[in-house]
A and B are shown apart, each in its own frame.
Chain A
Amino acid sequence: MNPFIEIITQPDNIAIVIMIIMVTFFMVWAFLQALQNDKLLAAGLPVEGENDKFVDTFKPLVRIELIIAIVVMVGLTIWSIAVDAPLEEIANPTITPNPAKAPWYFLGLQELLVYFDPWLAGVVLPSLIVVGLLAIPYIDINPKGNGYYTFAERKYAILIFSFGFFVLWLLLIVIGVFFRGPGWLWYWPWQEWDHARVVFEPTKDLTTVIGIDSRSLPGFIIGALVVGSYLIGGMMAPYYYWKKNSPELLAKLGIIRYVTIVFLFITMMSIPIKMVLRLVFLIKYIWITPWFNV
């Protein structure tokens, strides 16, 4: 069989295909409604749902709930009749499959292991995702766009969230499912997996590029300076930018909100930055310390 068809029709991967279809559909629908409302807002007209009347729960709402329940049940039943859940060989600690993949919704995190050490990719970053999600309502102080689809009124919030959700979470999952083969090497879906393939990619550390041993004291100091200035510079830059361009915003945010927003943002942006460093410049670590590497 064509390897591409083979990989997308593997029983567990069908879920990912369904996810891609559903997510794309709802993404388009959300943004279409947002643009539609933006036109109404620009014209000073009420948005969708603003002049809602009340209707009885029984039966309009109960009816639609019942219909949805039936549709979902029929859909899942068809899926369950058509596709059988796989059962592999009995668990065997002595035979390690290659690649050994985490459950699909964690593959984005597993993909991060290419760019970060496990304590960052598997523990710190996931914790910060949860913290960041919890913080959203408290750090987004824009009162507009409450209870209706809109893009124009909350551009930055939507762009940042969408980048995290669609690119860093969902796209990395799709890559992990469809594009990673033995040795976690990149395989196009139409390529055969080759278990003997080794890719010799001599990765360097940042300081070795400029000829300084990353494990020496000067290397340590330079690395610390680079990481430190990313963090400190990243924390300060928006302050000066906003102070010049929109001081009212800065005043409204206050110090705690400011620190939280900017810290979460630069942490999030460190992911694409390290991806580029690793993939384009073959740089593995920026800073090597006796305790951990970044």
Chain B
Amino acid sequence: MKSLPQITDKVKKNLIWKSIFRRDYRNTVRDRAQAVFGNVFLHLHPVQVRESAVKLRFTWGMGGITFFAFILLVITGVVLMFYYHPTIDQAYNDIKDLEFQVPFGVILRNLHRWGAHFMVIVVMIHMFRVFMTGSYKTPRQFNWGIGVFLLVFTFLLSFTGYLTPWDQLGFWAITVGTNMGAATPLLGYQGPFSEYLHITPYNDIRFALLGGAQVGGNALLRSYIWHCVALPLISIILMFVHFWRVRKDGGISKPQK
């Protein structure tokens, strides 16, 4: 019988193990730094951070929580896509199947739904925190701007997801929402001055959003593609710029007087 240290020693000398972790971790300054910049995910962080960045009191961890909610939504969202067809004939039944047929389908859908509500809540609180600590001031003006776009995209992600179950709730929420588009000055058929541009229900901005004059199959397909492909891609790119800038602007803001 071998003792535990002997076994771990053996595992750590194994070729496969060594190929993955490259070097041993001893609790030294060098290895603690190596743990961060040797790992592509942790590498988002600097090797050392100011104490406040670690305390909950300052940031409340809200930006991180928003990001976590986003990752959770991507994962549950991808799994939901396996069970879903974005057509009027199938979408509603697919959701019913998730409820009654798919193993753990209910909790999968619940996680995605409540996670989405949660993300909208925490992104607003994150913005409030950044405002209250004055962290949008020099040199972080630009990153605040990126943040504002992230806020808008968070709303849009949630909004486009509303239609996908093709039930009354989503249908009418999207109808109410896109009817606003019809009121756009110049570009919506009910908006002021649009008659001068010969705008009708069939060529206005609402038509472009819905792919039709009413919420129908095209609108379902459009919202699905915005929801599952286009908006997440744009948001991911913005998030990476956001995180990059947090570091390049000198990390979490510190008192400047």
Contacts and interface: CB of A to CB of B under 8 A. Distances in A.
Interface residues of A, number: 90
Contacts of B137: 137, 140, 143, 145-147
Contact of A100 (B33, B113, B175, B188): B175
A10 to B, nearest CB: 11
Given A23-B125, A76-B72, A77-B111, A92 B254 contact: no
A91 B110 contact: no
Given A49-B58, A84-B110, A85-B109, A58 B32 contact: yes
A56 B48 contact: yes
Given A49-B58, A52-B50, A62-B42, A147 B253 contact: yes
Interface stretch (B1-9, B62-70, B221-229, B236-244): B62-70
Contacts of A60: 54
Interface in A167-196: none
A72 interface: yes
B242 to A, nearest CB: 14
B19 interface: no
Given A61-B45, A95-B168, A72 B173 contact: no
Interface string A96-121: 11001111111001100000011101
Contact of B180 (A26, A56, A88, A123): A123
Contact of B49 (A29, A33, A57, A101): A57
A116 B87 CA distance: 36
The majority secondary structure among interface residues of chain A is helix
B187 to A, nearest CB: 9
A105 B179 contact: no
Given A68-B61, A88-B167, A148-B133, A54 B107 contact: no
A105 B159 CA distance: 9
B3 to A, nearest CB: 26
Contacts of A12: 117
A80 B120 contact: no
B56 A130 contact: no
Given A79-B114, A105-B120, A72 B68 contact: yes
A89 interface: yes
B172 A96 contact: yes
A134 interface: yes
Interface string B29-54: 10011011000001001111111111
Interface residues of B, number: 98
B68 A69 contact: yes
B183 A123 contact: yes
Tell me if B's interface is mostly helix, strand, loop or mixed.
helix
A265 B222 CA distance: 37
Contacts of B103: none
Of listed A59, A81, A92, A148, residue having the most chain B CB within 10 A: A148
A52 B49 CA distance: 10
B132 interface: yes
A48 interface: yes
A118 B45 contact: no
Contact of A15 (B61, B117, B151, B191): B117
A154 B131 CA distance: 11
Contacts of B131: 136, 158, 161, 165
A106 B177 contact: yes
Nearest to A56: B32
Given A18-B121, A48-B57, A100 B128 contact: no
Interface string B133-162: 111111011001100100110010011001
A89 B167 contact: yes
Given A105-B120, A133-B148, A165-B128, A80 B183 contact: no
A47 B131 CA distance: 17
B193 interface: yes
B134 A154 contact: yes
Given A58-B35, A123-B180, 15 more contacts: A12-B117, A30-B128, A34-B132, A57-B49, A85-B109, A88-B167, A105-B158, A110-B176, A119-B191, A123-B183, A123-B184, A133-B148, A146-B256, A147-B133, A147-B255
15 contacts: A33-B57, A49-B50, A57-B36, A57-B47, A58-B35, A58-B47, A76-B115, A87-B96, A88-B167, A92-B168, A105-B158, A106-B159, A117-B183, A146-B134, A150-B134
Interface of B: 29, 32-33, 35-36, 42, 45-54, 56-58, 60-61, 64-65, 68-69, 72, 88, 92, 95-96, 99, 106-107, 109-111, 113-115, 117-118, 120-122, 124-125, 128-129, 131-138, 140-141, 144-145, 148, 151-152, 155, 158-159, 162, 165-173, 175-177, 179-185, 188, 190-193, 214-215, 253-257
Interface of A: 12, 15, 18-19, 22-23, 26-27, 29-30, 33-34, 46-50, 52-62, 64-65, 68-69, 72-73, 76-77, 79-81, 83-93, 95-97, 100-106, 109-110, 117-119, 121-124, 130, 133-134, 136-138, 140, 143-150, 154, 158, 161, 165, 291-292
6 A-B pairs closest in CB distance: A122-B180, A118-B183, A137-B141, A80-B110, A91-B171, A15-B117
